[in-house]
Amino acid sequence: MSNPTRRGVVAGGLALSAGSKALAASPKVGGIGGATDETYWAEIAAQYDLSPEVIQLENGNWGIMARPVLAAYERHQAMVNRSNSYYARREYWGDLARVRARVAANLGVEPDEIAFTRGATEALQALIGGYNRLKPGDQVLIADLDYDSMQSAMAWLKDRRGAELIRIRLPEPATEAGLVAAYAAALEAHPRVRLMLLTQVSHRNGLHLPVAKITALARARGVDVILDSAHAWGQVETILRQLGADFVGLNGHKWIGAPIGVGVLYIAKGRIQDIDPFMGADDHAPDDVRLRVHTGTANMAAYLAMEDALNFHEAIGAPAKAARLAYLRGRWTEPLRGVAGLQILTPQDDRLGSALGAFRLAGRTTPAENIALAKTLLDRFGIFTVARHGLASGSCVRATVSPFTRPAEVDRLAQALTELGRA
């Protein structure tokens, strides 16, 4: 099987041309287009225009659009700007319905189970704030790895619904059995828990939870799960029905590579009445999932470009992308385990890993110390990372690879951290 050509990928605004069909067919772990096929992945990396100023290992904030996606977004924006309301009122909703169906198919759900938002945060806040099955005295459960805004939203349920907040600390080092046991113990110790937040891939250290096993525990106890998949969709295979959560928030502008400002809210069939409509929603369509959020006049071009981003993502293939990201992450994390002066927070079990990895200098757990470490990596070595706070064990620095990351770049990180740790 030949490697994809750049011309084939770009042709037709990412329509599946001959080149991109080859791209979809070729990625195989250990084979042509596999995780270590550098010729293949150099072709993928060539689809991104990157700043030469730094080694970019902070790819968790949002995902850089591939060049064909950016070109499509610019075309959509020019069209919307040119046609104005003549397009918006006559054709936009039909086009958006097509994109909605495409997104739903990728997630393994029905179109009428999803709604577009401006990001996962908005989707999850709508789900948490709108969840109406709590009564005073019920408990809700969160963990130290959950995203800050989602923790705040769950805490707000005390004022909104009279619910008690339960916080747990997830075990380090993480194992699948240990994580499942931690949630099982929490549910056993707190039998009044009715709602729990799960984060599929943590923004702090990249931990990939065994979501399906934990949601099965919750379901057996009559506990609902709101799933934060902001960092999962696009870097680990995300088929929602397999995960077991009836309420999910996702991002399109992280690992799918859509323009900034695209998120998805999911509510499983039969559960729509458990989430209140947004204030002032139309009473004539109470079962419409889209009435659970209101985004005003949206960035129409960004939503339209979601289809182009999915073309690019699906041409690579979710399993191939996941394998490549795992390889790149492991290339820097594994050589550093046991290096004096360093603590690697990323699990060794690949099932629990993601593109995001975290580390700290031994004993350096304060926010200030890890902000300083990220600054040292930038100033001395030209490597851009970010400090993350909120872990029960203390602050850390996060490094995040991407499909365009080169092995030499993560090798440079490993060398820099070895030098800093030994110092």
pLDDT tens, position by position, for the chain (423 residues)?
333 333 334 333 333 333 343 343 333 333 445 899 999 999 999 999 999 999 999 999 999 999 999 999 999 999 999 999 999 999 999 999 999 999 999 999 999 999 999 999 999 999 999 999 999 999 999 999 999 999 999 999 999 899 999 999 999 889 999 999 999 999 999 999 999 999 999 999 999 999 999 999 999 999 999 999 999 999 988 999 999 999 999 999 999 999 999 999 999 999 999 999 998 666 667 789 999 998 788 999 999 999 999 999 999 999 999 999 999 999 999 999 989 999 999 998 989 999 999 999 999 999 999 999 999 999 999 999 999 999 999 999 999 999 999 999 999 999 999 999 998
The C-alpha atoms of residue 232 and residue 255 are separated, in whole angstroms, by 8
CATH, domain range 79-310: 3.40.640.10
Q: Give which of 358, 123, 399, 73 is closest to 240, Cα–Cα.
A: 123
Q: H helices within 84-204, ranges in order? A: 85-88, 92-107, 120-130, 148-161, 176-189
pLDDT of 19: 34
pTM here is 0.91
Among residues 194, 155, 201, the alpha carbon closest in space to that of 179 is found at 201
**Residue 392 has which token pair?**
């029960």
- Decide if 302 contacts 263 (C-beta within 8 A): no
Whole-number Å distance between alpha carbons of 292 and 408: 46
Per-residue pLDDT, 38:
95
CB 86 within 8 A of CB 414: no
- In the prediction, which pLDDT does 237 show? 83
Token code pair at residue 167: 């916080």
Residue 287: what pLDDT? 87
The phi, psi pair for 225, rounded to 5°, reads: -120, 130
